[in-house]
Amino acid sequence: MSNAAAMRPGRSALPEWVRRLPEYLMIWVPLLLSAAHLISFSLWTIWISFTPSTLVPVTGWVGLRNYSAVAASRNWQIAFDNLLLFGISFVVLSAATGLVLAILLDQRIRGENVLRSIFLYPLAVSFVVTGTVWSWLLNPGLGIQKLVHDLGWSSFRFDWLIDRDMAIWTIVIAAIWQSSGFAMALFLAGLRSVDGDIVKAAQIDGAGPVRMYRRIILPSLWPITITVIVIQLQFAISTFDLVRALTNGGPGIATQLPALVVYDLMFQRSLLGRGAAAAVLMLLILLAVLLPYAAWRYHQRRRATHA
């Protein structure tokens, strides 16, 4: 630092803030613009959710009527239950799948690059494509069940797509296929950053591979695990295109999710007020995930600086 300053004496005459102006402009202008965008539309939606708007936004005040109507509707109740089931199982299973894949890939195997690309590839496919492809694979009359029947095992049943109680699991399957590669990439980066010296020390102390993973490597991965969980959770909460292509909320209304309900209310039923109320409820669910995460991050940072 002092060397560089000595080499460019003319520069150091400028005040600090002037020298850093380009950096501030680069960061703050886009940040402020997108924040203003985000906040103004969120506030607008919150306002609409308290108005009697239907086809177009109108002024007026109906208090919490839109909220109570949404909360009382069967569609929303089903969507909320599905979100809990889908959110938890998807996050846990995709993180677990990603972790297993990462550990297997981390064994210094041949063709790692090829395998890694294959596992990451689904992420490059849009959710609509994933949904459509899986809707064919899982369709009992066209896909896996038919294949097995044609092979001769005619009592085989795999008809979750058309089973009201199991249909939500088809979305879990497709979502895991799509995004466990992402979890794998993060975990793999984490595995690679484990301190080699500690591993060597453990080896010298005679720790076997299972013990090494359980006691040393996995515990050091947990900040990454939290990140994976939070990213996947906010994806789960806002899932829309995948379900729309895979089941479109069906059979019947068995696989409704909050984002589908919002779209349905706003654009298919032309009930802007209720749709906005549902959207605000979704935002609250998101905050319920993100605020504890932010608090945890803050806590971590404080602990790090104090240590």
Partner 1 sequence: MPITTTRRRLLAGSVATLALPAFARAQGAAKPRLTVISQWSAGSDGAAITALGKKFEEKGGVWQHSPVPGFTTEMMNKLRAQIMAGDPPACSQLKGPEIAAWSKIAPTVDLDAVVAAAGYEKVVAPDLAKLHKPGGKWIALPLQIYSTNMLFLSKRAMDKAKADKIPVTWAEFNDLAEKMKAGGVAYPVANGGTRPDDGQKFEAALAGISPLAYRAAIMNLEKKALEGPEIKAAFAQVRKIADWMDPNVGAQHFSTNLKRFIDGDMGMMIMGGWAQGVLRNAGFKLEDFTIAPGPSDNGKPVFLLNADAFIFWQRKDADLQAGQTLMAQLVMDPAIQTMYSQITGSIPVRTDVDLSGEGWSEGQRTTAKALKDAIASNQAVLSMAHNMAQENGMTAAMIDVITEYVKNKTIKPEQAATRLAEAVEGSR
Question: Alpha helices of 49-72 — where are they, by DSSP H?
Answer: 65-72
Residue 273 burial (C-beta neighbours within 10 Å; 0-12, 13-18, 19+)? buried
Q: Which positions ≥6 away from 47 have C-beta within 8 Å? A: none
Window contacting partner 1 (CB under 8 A); options: 2-10, 40-48, 247-255, 292-300 = 247-255
Report if residue 128 touches partner 1, rule: CB under 8 A: no
- Residue 270 sits in the site that holds partner 1 (CB under 8 A): yes
> Which member of 222, 267, 296, 298 binds partner 1 (CB under 8 A)?
267
Instruction: Work out whether 73 is an interface residue with partner 1 (CB under 8 A).
Output: yes
Please identify which residue in 212, 248, 283, 290 interacts with partner 1, judged by CB under 8 A. Answer: 248
Q: Which is nearer to partner 1, 140 or 226 (CB)?
A: 140
| Phi then psi dihedrals of residue 116, to 5 deg | -60, -40
Q: Which is nearer to partner 1, 148 or 162 (CB)?
A: 162
**Residue 264, interface with partner 1 (CB under 8 A)?**
yes
- Taking the least distance from each CB to partner 1, the nearer of 135 and 178 is 135
Residue 141 sits in the site that holds partner 1 (CB under 8 A):
yes
CB 247 within 8 A of CB 167: yes
298 touches partner 1 (CB under 8 A): no
In whole angstroms, what is the distance from residue 272 CA to residue 264 CA? 10
Number of chain positions touching partner 1 (CB under 8 A): 31
Span 157-176, contacts to partner 1 by CB under 8 A: 159, 161-162, 164
Does 60 help bind partner 1 (rule: CB under 8 A)?
no
Distance from C-alpha of 266 to C-alpha of 279, rounded to nearest angstrom: 10
Distance separating alpha carbons of residues 253 and 148, to the nearest angstrom: 29
Tell me the C-alpha to C-alpha distance, in Å, between residue 129 and each of 22, 125, 241, 245. 41, 7, 9, 8
Closest CA relative to residue 238, chosen from 256, 259, 262: 259
290 interacts with partner 1 by CB under 8 A: no
Residue 55 or 284: the one with the smaller Cβ distance to partner 1 is: 55
Alpha carbons 255 and 243: distance in angstroms, whole number:
8
Q: Which two tokens stand for residue 306?
A: 């104090």
Distance between CA 178 and CA 235 in Å, rounded?
12
Name the 3-class secondary structure at 53.
coil
Is the separation of the CB atoms in 217 and 39 below 8 Å?
A: no
Stretch that binds partner 1, among 106-114, 199-207, 245-253, 295-303 (CB under 8 A): 245-253
Cβ at position 29, least distance to partner 1 in Å: 28
Among 60, 209, 252, 292, binds partner 1 (CB under 8 A): 252
* Closest CB to partner 1 among residues 57, 297: 57
Kindly state the smallest distance separating residue 90's Cβ from partner 1, in Å.
20
> Which segment (68-76, 116-124, 202-210, 233-241) binds partner 1 by CB under 8 A?
68-76
Q: Looking at beta carbons only, is 106 or 159 nearer to partner 1?
A: 159
Whether the Cβ atoms of residue 70 and residue 265 lie closer than 8 Å to each other: yes
Residues that bind partner 1 (CB under 8 A): 54-57, 69, 72-75, 135, 139-142, 159, 161-162, 164, 247-248, 250-254, 264, 267-271
